[in-house]
């Protein structure tokens, strides 16, 4: 007699086979020590490795994009994930979140596969810490509120900035934190993860913008004096900006922490 293909035994066997196939993939640790410096750039571009929530309003009600981006970058360089272990308890998770703002140590989020999963579970706590980080720096040091430079510059100036950024991102393989100075006191921030040359002197910029979960592409051509702010294809001409690289030496901290911790 011919055996029916939908037999429960066959189904169970297939299920077992496929679970055997996929379980190791799901429970595999994502260890930051196993990445090369340049692959850490690529790590940040994957959506599962990004903070699950967008730039929240924060306690000052002006957005915490600067701190969101800095925490995103810290997590990219200093946070491993091990879903095969028992999930961290609330206190352990809080300590991990605190340390994420401190750029101090390499950590592992036990019981989580990636940053998206962890930040979904602890979105309230992370948002609050971002807000407090903002408050701390705002009250102790009001400098950031004064802006970082003009919101439009000469074509030569912007061209020089683009060359420097290209060197930082493409040659040194760093993820660059940039403040986007808009008219007045308004300033945004993003992380530049990649840059490609286009034509004779143009560039394509790939950036992580805390206002969206999607990677953003910007195009530079010589002659530009500022960029119009575009988010997911929607343009905000009044928010045109000039990008300024900040915290450019943080990558040295990352490199030192990784070098010391990963060699143990």
Partner 1 sequence: MRNTKLTISLLCLITLVVAIALYSTSENNNMILEERHIASSGKANFHTQEVLSNSLPRSVTSNWENSSTSLPHSNTQEQRANILSESLEITGSKSMSLEINETNEFENIDDSPEERFYQAALDWSADIGFMMVKAEKDIQTAEETFNFLQNCTENTSTALAYRAICAANLQRLSKKQSRLFGQRYAALKATFPADIEKFLEEAPTNF
259 to 20, 25, 43, 79, 255: CA distances (angstroms): 35, 27, 18, 14, 6
DSSP string, 168-220: IIIIS-PPEEEEEE-STT-EEEEEEEEEEEETTTEEEEEEEETT-SSEEEEEE
Nearer to partner 1, 12 or 235 (CB): 12
| Residue 114 C-beta: closest distance to partner 1, Å | 15
| Residue 93 C-beta: closest distance to partner 1, Å | 10
Binding site for partner 1 (CB under 8 A): 1, 3, 9-10, 13-14, 16-18, 20-22, 24-25, 28, 31, 33-39, 59-62, 91, 94-95, 97-98, 101-104, 124-125, 128-129, 131-133, 135-143, 145, 172-174, 185, 247-256, 258-259, 262
| 3-class DSSP assignment, residue 226 | coil
Q: Are 138 and 60 in contact (CB under 8 A)?
A: yes
Nearer to partner 1, 230 or 247 (CB): 247
Nearer to partner 1, 227 or 251 (CB): 251
Q: Measuring CA to CA, which residue among 140, 163, 153, 138 is closest to residue 61? A: 138
| Residue 127 C-beta: closest distance to partner 1, Å | 9
Nearer to partner 1, 43 or 216 (CB): 43
| Residue 184 C-beta: closest distance to partner 1, Å | 10
Q: Are 207 and 215 in contact (CB under 8 A)?
A: yes
| Residue 15 C-beta: closest distance to partner 1, Å | 11
Q: In what order do the strands lie in the sheet with 176-181?
A: 215-220, 202-209, 187-198, 176-181, 234-246, 227-231
Residue 200, Cβ density class (10 Å: 0-12 exposed, 13-18 middle, ≥19 buried): exposed
Nearer to partner 1, 100 or 224 (CB): 100
Nearer to partner 1, 10 or 198 (CB): 10
Q: Are 189 and 65 in contact (CB under 8 A)?
A: yes
Length of the chain: 264
| Residue 172 C-beta: closest distance to partner 1, Å | 5
């Amino acid at each position: 007699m011919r055996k029916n293909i939908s037999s429960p035994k066959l189904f169970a066997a297939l299920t077992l086979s496929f679970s055997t196939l996929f379980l190791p993939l799901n429970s595999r640790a994502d260890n930051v020590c196993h990445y090369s410096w340049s692959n850490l750039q690529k790590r940040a571009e994957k959506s599962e490795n990004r903070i699950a929530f967008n730039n929240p309003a924060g306690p000052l009600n002006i957005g915490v994009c600067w701190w969101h981006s800095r925490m995103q970058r810290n997590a990219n360089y200093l946070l491993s994930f091990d879903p095969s272990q028992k999930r961290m308890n609330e206190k352990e998770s809080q300590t991990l979140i605190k340390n994420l703002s401190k750029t101090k140590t390499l950590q592992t989020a036990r019981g989580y596969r990636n940053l998206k999963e962890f930040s979904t579970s602890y979105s309230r706590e992370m948002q609050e810490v971002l807000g407090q980080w903002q408050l701390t720096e705002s009250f102790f040091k009001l400098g950031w509120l004064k802006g970082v430079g003009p919101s439009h510059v000469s074509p030569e100036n912007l061209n020089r900035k683009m060359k420097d950024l290209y060197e930082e991102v493409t040659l040194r393989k760093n993820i660059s934190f940039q403040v986007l100075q808009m008219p007045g006191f308004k300033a945004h921030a993003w992380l530049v993860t990649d840059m490609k040359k286009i034509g004779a002197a143009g560039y394509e910029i790939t950036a992580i913008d805390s206002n969206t979960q999607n990677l953003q592409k910007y195009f530079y051509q010589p002659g530009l004096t500022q960029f119009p702010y575009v988010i997911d294809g929607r343009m905000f001409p009044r928010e045109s900006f000039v990008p300024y690289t900040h915290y450019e030496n943080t990558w040295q901290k990352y490199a030192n922490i990784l070098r010391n911790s990963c060699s143990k």
